């Protein structure tokens, strides 16, 4: 394959638009919080940190269901085994370096949804879309599903342009944009354009390399690296037992390029939302408890001549066990009705063994306590994500300005400036 010229990260039209709009987009005090109108009028994309909470909230706002983003703290196989399954994809954040173009496919293979990044700072959304649009079983939501179908015949570059022009994605992405984020992004574009006019250097300095998100995803029996700054996907080989273990060496190779002591990367995983399976398990548990209790009541009445209202069925477990739908645990009657009983419960429902059935009921009660605790933990984690995202979306420009004014009146600004310069 012939060597291709280096891909431009942003089209000239985008750069020109951003450059000319800088003086007019934010006419008010730059320290005032960004408004919805500011974000809507702005032409760029803001930088987003590699915080799982932000990605989780973005995916939820996109409309994607039953997916959770978790941090990967180690690529050790024993640690990777703790990731919830299935793992839909990995996102790797690092200082970007162009790889050998010959490793890429000649063109985007049929059945692979891959978009280039054609707009600065859009790599977080591009990486997410390059994963979720390749997982057939995921429910994408109305807007993303229509977008996926609309762009199915596009080239990667055109898909990237479509992302940049899709207000639905741009609005959610830029919900994290603060006024200074937008001003800094526009200033960076202006400086980049000015630098290119003054210099003909082909490659930028290593120290100026930008941080960038790329995706790894299993599609059609193979593991793919989907880097929006590369023209085409890279095939990492057929899937064996665990595709995550196959992607790990590629990530480790990138990590090895850093000097000792440098931690300039992050790894995130897109997994099936644990809460979904936990609620399904609780539904099965509740259906099992209700079924066993009804069976025991009937057995006691038949064998002991007791009436249903005097039978000792209520002594078979904790009084606070769930025996029906509960909003607190996101458990619906529909989920209970659709739950499939375990073979053990089914067997005891056909048996006259009161002792054995009572033991099963006790086991189900104990299991429910553990399941409910896990569900509460997951709901707390979701709320914590919402709180982190809300804090990130809160533009604290006025607060920072007020603090600086107080420090200036106290005569402390010069001390902090000297400390910052010396550190």
Owner of token pair 């000319």? 20
Active site residues: 123, 212
Sign of CA dihedral 278, 280, 283, 285: negative
Angle between helices 52-62 and 123-132 (to 10 degrees): 60
Question: Could you give the count of Cα atoms lying within 13 Å of 350 in the half-sphere of its Cβ?
Answer: 6
CA-CA distance, 92 to 216, in Å (whole number)? 8
- Distance from C-alpha of 101 to C-alpha of 234, rounded to nearest angstrom: 9
* DSSP notation for 292-310: HHHHHHHHHHHHH---TTT
d(CA 348, CA 157): 60
Report the side by side order of strands in the sheet with 67-71. Answer: 67-71, 266-272, 87-95, 211-219, 222-226, 234-238
Alpha carbon distance 378, 371 (integer Å): 11
């Amino acid at each position: 394959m012939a060597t291709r010229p280096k891909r431009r990260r942003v089209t000239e039209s985008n750069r020109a638009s951003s450059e000319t709009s800088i003086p007019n987009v934010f006419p008010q005090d730059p320290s005032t919080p960004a408004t919805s109108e500011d974000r809507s009028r702005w032409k760029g994309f803001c930088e987003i940190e590699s915080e799982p909470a932000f990605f989780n909230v973005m995916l939820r706002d996109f409309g994607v269901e039953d997916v959770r983003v978790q941090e990967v703290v180690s690529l050790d196989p024993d640690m990777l085994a703790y990731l919830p399954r299935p793992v839909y994809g990995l996102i790797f954040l690092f200082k970007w370096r162009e790889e050998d173009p010959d490793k890429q496919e000649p063109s985007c293979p049929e059945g692979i949804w891959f978009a280039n990044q054609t707009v600065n700072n859009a790599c977080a959304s591009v990486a997410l879309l390059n994963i979720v649009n390749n997982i057939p079983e995921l429910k994408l939501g109305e807007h993303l599903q229509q977008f996926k179908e609309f762009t199915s015949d596009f080239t990667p570059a055109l898909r990237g342009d479509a992302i940049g022009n899709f207000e639905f994605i741009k609005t959610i992405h830029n919900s994290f944009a603060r006024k200074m984020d937008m001003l800094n992004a526009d200033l960076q574009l202006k400086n980049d354009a000015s630098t290119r006019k003054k210099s003909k250097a082909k490659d930028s300095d290593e120290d100026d390399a930008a941080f960038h998100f790329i995706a790894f995803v299993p599609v059609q029996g193979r593991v793919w690296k989907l880097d929006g700054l590369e023209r085409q996907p890279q095939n990492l080989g057929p899937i064996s037992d665990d595709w995550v273990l196959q992607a790990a060496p590629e990530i480790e190779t990138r990590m090895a390029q850093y000097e000792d002591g440098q931690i300039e990367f992050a790894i995130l995983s897109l997994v099936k939302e644990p809460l979904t399976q936990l609620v399904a398990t609780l539904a099965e548990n509740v259906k099992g408890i209700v079924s066993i209790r009804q069976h025991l009541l009937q057995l006691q009445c038949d064998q002991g001549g007791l009436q249903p209202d005097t039978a000792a069925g209520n002594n078979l477990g904790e009084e606070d066990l769930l025996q029906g739908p509960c909003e607190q645990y996101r458990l619906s009657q529909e989920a209970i009705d659709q739950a499939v009983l375990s073979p053990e419960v089914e067997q005891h429902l056909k048996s006259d063994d009161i002792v054995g059935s009572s033991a099963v009921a006790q086991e189900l009660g104990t299991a429910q306590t553990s399941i409910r605790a896990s569900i509460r933990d997951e709901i707390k984690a979701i709320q914590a994500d919402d709180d982190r995202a809300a804090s990130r979306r809160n533009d604290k420009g006025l607060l920072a300005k007020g603090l600086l004014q107080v420090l200036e009146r106290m005569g402390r600004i010069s001390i902090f400036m000297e400390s910052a310069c010396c550190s």
